[in-house]
């Protein structure tokens, strides 16, 4: 009873939802003010990353100012650190099967039969980073992807989803409502692009029939896709039904060539959906806060 009254009152107070997404070395902050379910205000700002271990001074001030202006504020962050992923199952043995040490990760299962995890150290590091400013939600890219695909129709056949962000690629394979395979790759320039073993392996692949060339990130996306598929089909852990469809949530810019390549070489249907990851983070935080 009391919760209901509180909830009703909360809905009538202007609440600001701040979505923080990092792209390259820039913090991009998008804020929305919601009152009674209606968007009253929208504003954004970007800040250059200055230090490794601290937020830029002006960004802290900016965020603090917003939070003094609005009594109710929710700060959400898109997590793009390495060492995170998603697996089928939720028990310690499930984690072990996937070579993940459960003691090193923060994880939760999404009321379904699969779990999302991230490095414990990374989560704590972020908490520390935002200790002055405050943070409410940390979203895994797999949850972002899940949020997007919930609107899709579920089919019996497995579907592969790709979430393409400026700095990372998230791949998951769903059978109906359950994730059965998940993989996360960072694509920033100062990190190792690919595992050297895998490069050799790809050399044995049959030559592409078309003379399509990929540039920049698209190469990486393609390579990560192949590596994920390989892993999925070869590893006994997965059921390995043949995947016919890919849904690509594009938060960056993929070229049509990549899609053609996938269609021709991998014989998979690609559905392209443009998404605004900033918007999605905002939406997710609104949903989670208002429930």
Question: Which residues of the shown chain bind another protein in the complex (CB under 8 A)?
Answer: 3, 9-10, 13, 64, 67-68, 71-72, 74, 76, 79, 106, 108, 110-111, 116, 118, 123, 127, 132-140, 143, 147, 284-285, 287-289, 291
CB of 139 to another protein, least distance (A): 6
For residue 131, the 8-state DSSP code is T
Say if residue 151 is exposed, middle or buried (CB neighbours under 10 Å; 0-12, 13-18, 19+). exposed
Nearer to another protein, 119 or 227 (CB): 119
Q: Is 122 helix (H, G, I), strand (E, B) or coil?
A: helix
Nearer to another protein, 77 or 246 (CB): 77
Nearer to another protein, 13 or 54 (CB): 13
CB of 211 to another protein, least distance (A): 43
Q: Do 246 and 159 meet the contact criterion of CB atoms below 8 Å apart?
A: yes
Nearer to another protein, 172 or 285 (CB): 285
Count CB neighbours of 206 within 10 A. 6
Nearer to another protein, 12 or 234 (CB): 12
For residue 80, the 8-state DSSP code is -
For the chain, count helices (H), then strands (E).
9, 13
Q: Do 142 and 182 meet the contact criterion of CB atoms below 8 Å apart?
A: yes
Count CB neighbours of 7 within 10 A. 11
Nearer to another protein, 133 or 229 (CB): 133
CB of 111 to another protein, least distance (A): 7
Nearer to another protein, 124 or 195 (CB): 124
Output Rg (C-alpha) for the chain, integer angstroms.
Answer: 20
Q: Do 47 and 108 meet the contact criterion of CB atoms below 8 Å apart?
A: no
CB of 80 to another protein, least distance (A): 13
CB of 112 to another protein, least distance (A): 10
What's the CA dihedral at 34, 38, 41, 47 to 10 degrees?
A: 50
CB of 240 to another protein, least distance (A): 29
Count CB neighbours of 284 within 10 A. 21
CB of 9 to another protein, least distance (A): 7
Rounded Cα distance between 48 and 27, Å, is: 6
């Amino acid at each position: 009873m009391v919760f209901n009254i509180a909830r009703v009152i909360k809905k009538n107070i202007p609440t600001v939802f701040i979505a923080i997404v990092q792209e390259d070395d820039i913090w991009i902050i998008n804020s929305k003010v919601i009152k009674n379910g209606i968007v009253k205000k929208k504003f954004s700002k970007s800040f250059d990353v200055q230090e490794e271990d601290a937020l830029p001074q002006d960004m802290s001030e900016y965020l603090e100012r917003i939070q003094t202006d609005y009594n109710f504020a929710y700060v959400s962050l898109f997590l793009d650190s390495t060492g995170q992923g998603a697996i089928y199952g939720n028990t310690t043995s499930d984690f072990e099967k996937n070579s993940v040490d459960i003691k090193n990760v923060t994880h939760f299962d999404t009321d379904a039969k699969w779990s999302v995890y991230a490095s414990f150290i990374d989560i704590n590091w972020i908490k520390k980073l935002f200790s002055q400013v405050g943070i409410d939600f940390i979203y895994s890219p797999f949850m972002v992807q899940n949020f997007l695909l919930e609107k899709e129709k579920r089919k019996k056949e497995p579907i592969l989803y790709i979430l393409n962000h400026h700095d990372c690629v998230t791949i998951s394979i769903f059978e109906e409502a359950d994730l059965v395979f998940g993989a996360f790759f960072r694509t920033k320039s100062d990190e190792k692009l690919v595992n050297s073993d895998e490069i050799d392996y790809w050399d044995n692949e049959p030559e592409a029939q078309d003379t399509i060339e990929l540039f920049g990130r698209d190469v990486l996306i393609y390579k990560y896709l192949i590596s994920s598929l390989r892993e999925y089909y070869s590893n006994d852990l997965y059921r390995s039904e043949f995947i016919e469809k890919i849904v690509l949530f594009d938060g960056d810019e993929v070229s049509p060539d990549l899609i053609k390549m996938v269609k021709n070489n991998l014989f998979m249907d690609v559905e392209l959906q443009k998404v605004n990851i900033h918007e999605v983070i905002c939406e997710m935080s609104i949903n989670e806060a208002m429930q």
